Structure 1
Amino acid sequence: MPLIRRSIDPVLEGVSLTWSMPVLPERVWWGLTDPEALPHWLGTLAAGEFAADNTVRIKHAEDYYSVSTILDCEPERLLSMTWDFPDEPRSALRISLSSDAGATQMTLLHTGLGAETASYLPGWHTHLLYLEGLLTGRPLDPAGFWGTYEQLATP
């Protein structure tokens, strides 16, 4: 697992994860935004497309959707968007990518999470494990998601 750093920022009510993906930025970008890739690590794209000023709707479970407005979208470099999840405050998600000797360093910053902050750290950690599995040709079994989350959430 190429997790470099993960932390909680109580002032921003947010989480930050920095990860080294052993693939090029275009492959990571595909994983982050392609409708065929999303179900393997995040959810199913139900509406919209990843482009600035667009709105995307992602189905995470039966009748459970997030809605996001894309604020900034620079392919293979930056994805910034709102994060509206049922029964949670509107928050902001920013994912930046940089090339690093044949790999990609990804930094995810999710702020404005309020009372949900602590649960998002192991949540994003788990999602990024699944993203990495997809990108490296070793997809993880979706049935194991919550077990992995629980392991990462346990101190």
Structure 2
Amino acid sequence: MPLTSVSTADGSLRISWTFPAPAPAVWAGFADAALLSQWLGRPVECDVRADGSIVVDHSGGYLSRSVITDVEEPRHLAMSWEFPEEHESRIQIRLQDAEEGTLMDFTHHDLGALVDSYGPGWITHLTYLEAAIAGGAIPASRFWPLHATFETLYAAHVAADAVTG
């Protein structure tokens, strides 16, 4: 897993991840409904253009809703994020060429007290995204066991940062 860094500040989660693929392939993970279904959930809507929307069923009708606020294919995507029973937040994704493929800077803004609960979730989803881009989808049944592992590692990372920070 080429997770480069994870940080939280001011209620925002920042993840840097290097994918061994060119930017258009990584971009497809956000814009192609078939790939989106392999890493985030079942797309109900997938319209990745200015003012378009992405609606994903995460299981049992539990929907996330996003409105695209800025898009520069295949380098930049900004959108709102609405999840049931949570306040609206914002996501920003930037892709740049790297020696190893594509570096993605992923920021989920305005999470407030939810910031640490989102860390393991996004790391798990991005692990699935990497596999989907490589053509080797991870079975959905592995999501929660992987999430539990990342949750344990993330908690240790947060605790270590609290001691050194």
- Classify the TM-score, shorter chain: over 0.9
User: Aligned residue for 1:89?
Assistant: 87
CA deviation map 1:65-85 (0-9, x unaligned): 011110011111011000011
Tell me how far apart the structure 1 counterparts of residues 93 and 58 of structure 2 sit (CA, whole Å): 19
Amino acid at match of 1:89: H
Match of 1:139 in 2: 137
The match for 1:3 is 3
Q: Distance in 2 between matches of 1:74 and 1:121?
A: 26
Shift in Å, 1:102: 5.5
> Can you give the 5+ residue segments of structure 1 that lack an aligned partner in the other structure?
none
Map of 1:103 onto structure 2: 101
- What's 1:38 paired with? 36
1:24 to 7, 22, 25: 22
TM-superposed deviation, 1:115 = 2.5
Deviation at 1:48, TM superposition (A): 4.6
Equivalent residues of 1:122, 1:152 under 8 A apart: yes
Q: CA RMSD in A?
A: 1.1
Q: Which residue of 2 aligns with 1:118?
A: 116
Amino acid at match of 1:16: R
Letter in 1 for 2:24: E
> Secondary structure of 1:36's match?
helix
Return the alpha-carbon distance in structure 1 between the equivalents of residues 27 and 53 of structure 2: 18
Q: Does 1:58 align with 2:68?
A: no
Q: SS at the partner of 2:78?
A: strand
Within 2, Cα distance between the matches of 1:116 and 1:33? Answer: 26
> What residue identity is the alignment partner of 1:75?
E
> What is the DSSP-based 3-state SS (H/G/I as helix, E as strand, rest coil) of the residue aligned with 1:85?
coil
| TM value normalised by structure 2 | 0.89
Structure-1 separation of matches of 2:135 and 2:87: 35
2:71 aligns with 73
Q: Is the 8 A contact 2:31 2:46 kept in 1?
A: no
Q: Does the 8 Å CA contact 2:40/2:58 hold for their aligned counterparts?
A: yes
Provide, for residues 74-106 of structure 1, a one-character-per-residue CA deviation record: whole Å limited to 9, x for no partner.
Answer: 111011000011001100000110011360000
Q: Give identity over the alignment, percent.
A: 35
The answer (yes or no) to whether the contact 1:24–1:102 under 8 Å persists in 2 is no
Q: Which amino acid aligns with 2:28?
A: W
Deviations 1:2-55 (A, max 9, x none): 11101121x2x1111100000000100111111111110001221250101122
Tell which structure's C-alpha radius of gyration is larger: 2
TM-score, normalised via structure 1 length: 0.94
Farther-moved stretch of structure 1 (123-132 vs 38-47)? 38-47
The secondary structure found in structure 1 opposite 2:86 is coil
